[in-house]
Amino acid sequence: MRKRQTTGWWGAVLDTPDPRALARFYADLLGWRIVKDEPDWATIHPGAGTSYIGFHVNESYVPPVWPPVEGSQQMMAHLDVEVDDLPAAVADAIAVGARLADHQPQDDVRVMLDPVGHPFCLYLGRGD
């Protein structure tokens, strides 16, 4: 098998009506920095490593429904963030603009919704 020519960088990209605003939210939430800030695209990076989160403008963006409802916009992916203090992490997320989802399926995970409705999970670290 032929080796792929990649740089090693990888990331997740979220659609949003306002890339700059959502990038600011996740930068504040994660303690990352905004490294690209344009009207149609923004990127955040932790400062080390090869991962990033990008934010792409989509003026037709429809927030997913959590939990899933037949016939409604489905969640296609979500971000997981490991934390060591779940109540404090939830409070911090709410302070920067997240909201707690109504449906919480697990005791050691909190499903949160970002300012435009993307679900993300805060979960207790398991030490692995």
For 68-92, the pLDDT digits (tens) are: 889 989 888 899 999 999 999 999 9
Q: Distance (Å, rounded) from C-alpha 25 to C-alpha 95?
A: 10
Buried b (16+ CB within 10 A) or exposed e, 58-89: eeebebbebeeeeeeeeeeebbeeebeebeeb
The position carrying tokens 């009506």 is: 17
Q: Is the pTM of this model over 0.85?
A: yes
Domains of the chain: 1-60 (3.30.720.120), 62-128 (3.10.180.10)
User: For residue range 92-127, what is the model confidence (pLDDT) as tens digits?
Assistant: 999 999 999 999 999 999 999 999 999 999 999 875
Task: Read off the amino acid at residue 49.
Answer: G
Contact in structure between 14 and 120 (CB atoms under 8 Å): no
